[in-house]
Amino acid sequence: MSEIAMPKLSDSMLEGTIISWLKRDGEPVARDEDLVEIETDKATMTYASEFAGVLHILAADGTTHPVGAVIAQVAPAAGIEAALGAGARTDEAVAANVITEAAVGANGGAAASRPVVPALRSSARATPLARRAAYAHGVDLDGLPGTGPGGRITRADVLAAAGVAAPEPGAPAPARTADRGDTIEPPSRVQRLIAARMAEANATIPQFEVQTEVTMDRAIALRAEMIELNDLDPVPSYNDFVIKACASALVRHPRVNASYHEDRFELHGRVNVGFAVASHDALIVPTIADADTKSLTAIARETRQVAARVRSGEITPPELSGATFTVSNLGMFGMTAIRPIINPPQVAILGVGAMRTVLARVAGEIADRTLMTLTLTSDHRILYGADAARFLADVKGLLETPLRLLW
């Protein structure tokens, strides 16, 4: 009998929570067939079976287990009855047929257990977020058309079927009821782990910031020309310009493209730039691997694809791993500047503010100029003020002469 252990789905994952088994106990399962949805420290992901045979569930929905713990077994079809007769079935396997509202994040209270609804057991191709939304709104996934890649059902599809408007990232919370009572909303596992990591980073890393203003007029003009050409799909966003500029500058500043780990400096050979994406309940950071070797348009295409998969809950572990530097942009929310916290073991993160028009004296005359604030947060254990300033000046120079980003 083959054992299925809690997989390590991200580079920082220590334990995972089973959201839902996609196959029932005792059902046949094929190799590479979607088997279980697991919530990690970064996202909820679907894990496929490594074996073919008959599934024997050992860990119930809603339970948390360390990486490497056995959560299920797969027996050859002919031997499953003997295995179960020998006592392989456990109380946890029986408990896997029941799930509480708290396990799927319904309200976090001391809810009574209730049977799993078909949404969590449906064989329809759906994202983890879509299954949880279907559970919450009583939507039957079977027969529901999907708009995701390969026809997969997304959370937006479920909400549309339920007649519920999908909230935009950063949208204000719904108004309180007339009694104005407090609402208790427990954080998800991802939110709890992000909070713990950020608190640890802020307490243990000696961080400092350097800041500069970038004149973006040339970048704006270049992007306008790209739009006029009408043969680029997609046209790079200003955030793509920033990612490309950072990737190019990191090649020339290897100490910024580094990690501080166990009292030693690790200078990375690859330049992998992470960028923050607001999902429905957390901030997820997918990675553009080898960003220094990719064109501006290739980066634009990849950022669109992975950002869409973050929001649909289809992001994969490799797309969330290996970042050596991070860009966090709040400019789309109109924020003038952001002072981000380092994501360890990285040693720097760039905060990007909104572009704004100001009056400036140019060649003795008053003219409009568009400025954008960049703030670099650095780890003082490996980077000093001059190191951070030189790197940020390099990024500024690339953005102010954006043709250099095209080769």
Positions annotated as catalytic residues are 380
Q: Tokens standing for 53?
A: 């045979």
What count of other Cβ atoms lies within 10 Å of the Cβ of residue 124?
18
C-beta separation of 83 from 1 below 8 A: yes
Nearest to residue 17, comparing CAs of 6, 28, 25? 6
348-362 and 325-329: which strand pairing?
parallel
Dihedral-angle region of residue 151 (phi above 0 means left; psi in -120 to 50 means alpha; beta otherwise): left
What count of other Cβ atoms lies within 10 Å of the Cβ of residue 353?
22
What's the DSSP call for residue 88?
A: I
Angle 170-257-267 from CA coordinates, rounded to 5°: 145
Nearest to residue 75, comparing CAs of 59, 86, 60, 61? 86
Nearest to residue 393, comparing CAs of 252, 267, 220, 272? 252
Nearest to residue 226, comparing CAs of 295, 315, 131, 129? 295
Beta bridge partners of 264: 261
Report CA-CA distances (Å) from 108 to 100, 105, 183: 10, 6, 11
365-379 and 207-215: which strand pairing?
antiparallel
What is the Cα–Cα distance from 76 to 52, expressed in whole angstroms?
8
Nearest to residue 32, comparing CAs of 46, 16, 17, 43? 46
